Amino acid sequence: MRLSFYTYSYTDRLKMPIVPCLERIAKAGYSGIDVSGTNGNSADPRSFDTSRRKLTRRTAERLKLRLEAVITHAELTSSLADPKQKPLDLVGTVDLAADLGATVVTFHMGGYHDGVDRKVEWKRTVAAIRKAADHAASKHVYLAVDGIWPTWINDSPDVQQRLFDDVDNEHFGINFDPCYLTLMGIDPSKLARRFSKQIVHAHLKDHKGTYPKWTHLLPGRGVLAYDRIFRGLKAAGFAASASVECFTNMKFETACDECYGSMVKAAKAGGVRFTRT
């Protein structure tokens, strides 16, 4: 298993320069990074322009950081339901991932919409995912829904299984997010076992409180028993990247150092050793 760091809150939201940000991540000990699939207020992957792509990839290669995943932000179903909104460009984001050398693209699902027949919305969503997953397969990239959530159309493990069955593409998987699973009352280890073949990436964050009111904390400061979570991932055969996800109210240097230490310690207690390959 590899330990990476998601840069979005710092390079995109707080506008930190890419080079020193990645240098600090590498210094802390991480083997890779996740990056945003867009730049600025745009939802278009082309906003992550050629110069930014070259700078990000060149810097990561110099620092021996793997580009693990590209993360989109708009909800897929919302973008498909609104005729005035351009559909989320998952195909273009797969191309971005290929340009960067990343192997995963994640997306947020979104829920059903008033006035739209649910069967129609489901079929339209499945078709969009299948199209993007087919393209991802041609680029050796995996498409991953960014978790399960109560207000989304994939609001339970059973519905998520139905989605996997309907899309029917081995390059469509799931981003494992134990924080949000715990908020939903789902045991992360049980879900890891159930979807052991579909988990292609993981995001590590923490919280206090319960759904629908909670506060995010640095991984290791909240309620999650990460030693047990890592043990569950190991038992499920997961050997890809788990990425620390922090937020703009969390100081970058503290997030880098503290989360690296706490996740390495928790992983060791769970029988997992992070590698760089």
pLDDT at 82 over 90: no
The answer, as to whether pTM is greater than 0.85, is yes
* Residue range 3-16: mean pLDDT, rounded: 98
Confidence of residue 85 (pLDDT cuts 50, 70, 90): confident
Question: For residue 71, what are its two tokens?
Answer: 């993360």
Predicted pLDDT at 100: 98
Predicted pLDDT at 5: 98
Predicted pLDDT at 108: 98
| CATH code at position 35 | 3.20.20.150
Give me the phi and psi of 239, to 5 degrees please.
-135, 15
Within a domain: 276: no
Within a domain: 74: yes
pLDDT at 251 over 90: yes
Confidence of residue 84 (pLDDT cuts 50, 70, 90): confident
pLDDT at 79 over 90: yes
Q: What percent of the chain has pLDDT over 90?
A: 97
Within a domain: 275: no
Q: Which domain holds residue 47?
A: 2-269
Within a domain: 178: yes
Residue/partner pairs of 204-212 with CB below 8 Å, 24 or more apart: 204/178, 204/179, 204/242, 204/243, 204/244, 204/245, 204/259, 204/263, 205/177, 205/179, 205/244, 205/245, 205/246, 205/247, 206/179, 207/179, 207/182, 207/183, 210/183, 211/150, 211/183, 211/184, 211/185
pLDDT at 52 over 90: yes
Within a domain: 277: no
Number of domains comprising the chain: 1
Predicted pLDDT at 175: 98
Within a domain: 236: yes
* Residue 177 neighbours by CB under 8 Å, 6+ apart: 146, 147, 202, 203, 205
Within a domain: 53: yes
Judged by average pLDDT, the poorest of 79-93, 128-142, 246-260 is 79-93
Q: H or E segment at 167? A: helix 157-167
